[in-house]
Amino acid sequence: PLVLGIETSCDETGVGIVRGTRLLAHEVASSVEEHVRFGGVIPEIAARAHLQALIPTIRRALEAADVTLDELDAIAVTAGPGLAGALMVGVSGAKALAAAAGKPLYGINHLVAHVGVGLIDGVRPEAWGDALPEDLGALLVSGGHTEILKVDSLSTDVTLLGSTIDDAAGEAYDKVARLIGAGYPGGPVIDRMAKEGDPTSFRFPRGLTAGKFVCSAQEPGKHRHDWSFSGLKTAVSRAVEQFEARDMQVPAADIAASFQEAVADVITAKAVRACREHGIRHLLLGGGVAANSRLRGLLADRCRSAGIELTVPPVNLCTDNGAMVAALGARLVMDGVAPSPAELGADPGLPVQVVSV
């Protein structure tokens, strides 16, 4: 099926078009520049930017794919989770488009869409054939998410194995970047600075790993596969303060490298552990933090040691985009899943188990 996908859950207006598993168009307009002076995504600004970018981005995607609205078999849109106002622009736009063109509409889950990237020709390893393998997991690491999922069926059966209990990994990057005066978005800057620093100079905490990954004495096993980055952020803040209090220059590169090491270490250790305990043999990486050099390197090493096949899509398909929404939409059409009701709305807190609404 020929499917157009729309993504507006955060600060990227993404429109993608697929025919089955073949990617025909992949257009993204980002409002990231407008958030730089605030050091984080401002929801109202993001929503307004989506409003301005949505129709031009849809036009560009249709042109790039060389198809007309009329030829589409379905339209898919991110219904949640994400920023309420931002989601609403995409959902309203998609509803209007679907109604005007007389096409079925699929409101889909943003997190599951990140996994849908694995369906796309060229991303999907050849050994998988046409479908996703049964023992598949996904590690999603972005500005808003840090999650490990078990994917038994992309269209009907996705389970959350673990997630962050406070900040997302990308959010921690952004906050630490601010602490060491590195600018926004923090991920790329810290990644670059870390190359000049010594990752062993500070031993920053790996959250929720004390006592064999058991965090609470009252509830052993609780948070076994979860992450926490707030203690790490506090530890960085203390380190910075200690230098400042003594009027010493803050060793920003060493702090960046040590912070990055702590993030990569705890994310990969817990992800691989979750995979082992849940029989996951294939792991797909997604989210903007997938661009991180140390995370990629360490995850590849640890997956190899654990006998897990790792798939890392190109970065522009890891960050938020419409192609993943289109790819998941096409899968739903092929699996005979019913389209969304006409009264489809945005759901900022949509749980990951709900693949489509």
Residues of the shown chain interacting with ligand ATP in the complex, contacts defined by CB under 6 A: 9-12, 82, 142-145, 170, 173-174, 185-188, 191, 287-289, 291-292, 319-320
CB of 101 to ligand ATP, least distance (A): 27
CB of 264 to ligand ATP, least distance (A): 9
Nearer to Mg ion, 13 or 311 (CB): 13
Query: Where in 116-175 is the site for Fe ion (CB under 5 A)?
Result: 142
170 annotated ligand-binding residue: no
Q: Which of 17, 93, 23, 95 is nearest to 61 (CA)?
A: 17
144 annotated ligand-binding residue: yes
Decide if 332 contacts 77 (C-beta within 8 A).
Answer: no
- Residues binding Mg ion: number (CB under 5 A): 3
Report the alpha-carbon distance of residue 144 to residue 333 in Å, rounded.
Answer: 28
Tokens of residue 229, six digits:
């980055």
Nearer to ligand ATP, 164 or 356 (CB): 164
Nearer to Mg ion, 10 or 303 (CB): 10
Selected from 313, 320, 346, 347, the binder of Fe ion by CB under 5 A is 320
Site string for Mg ion, 2-21 (x = CB under 5 A): --------xxx---------
Question: CA distances (Å), 264 to each of 48, 199, 270, 301, in order?
Answer: 34, 11, 10, 12
In 181-292, beta strands by DSSP E:
282-286
157 annotated ligand-binding residue: no
CB of 288 to Mg ion, least distance (A): 6
Q: What are the residue ranges of helices labelled H in 152-229?
A: 169-179, 186-194, 210-213
Nearer to Fe ion, 321 or 340 (CB): 321
CB of 327 to ligand ATP, least distance (A): 16
Nearer to ligand ATP, 173 or 202 (CB): 173
231 annotated ligand-binding residue: no
Q: Are strands 146-153 and 157-163 parallel, antiparallel or unpaired?
A: antiparallel
Dihedral angle over CA of 76, 82, 88, 93, nearest 10: -30
Considering CB distances under 5 to 8 angstroms, the limit depending on partner class, which of Mg ion, Fe ion, ligand ATP, none binds residue 155?
Answer: none
* 11 belongs to the binding site for Fe ion (CB under 5 A): no
DSSP assignment of 42-74 equals: -HHHHHHHHHHHHHHHHHHHHHHHT--GGG-SE
Q: Which residue type occupies 138? A: A
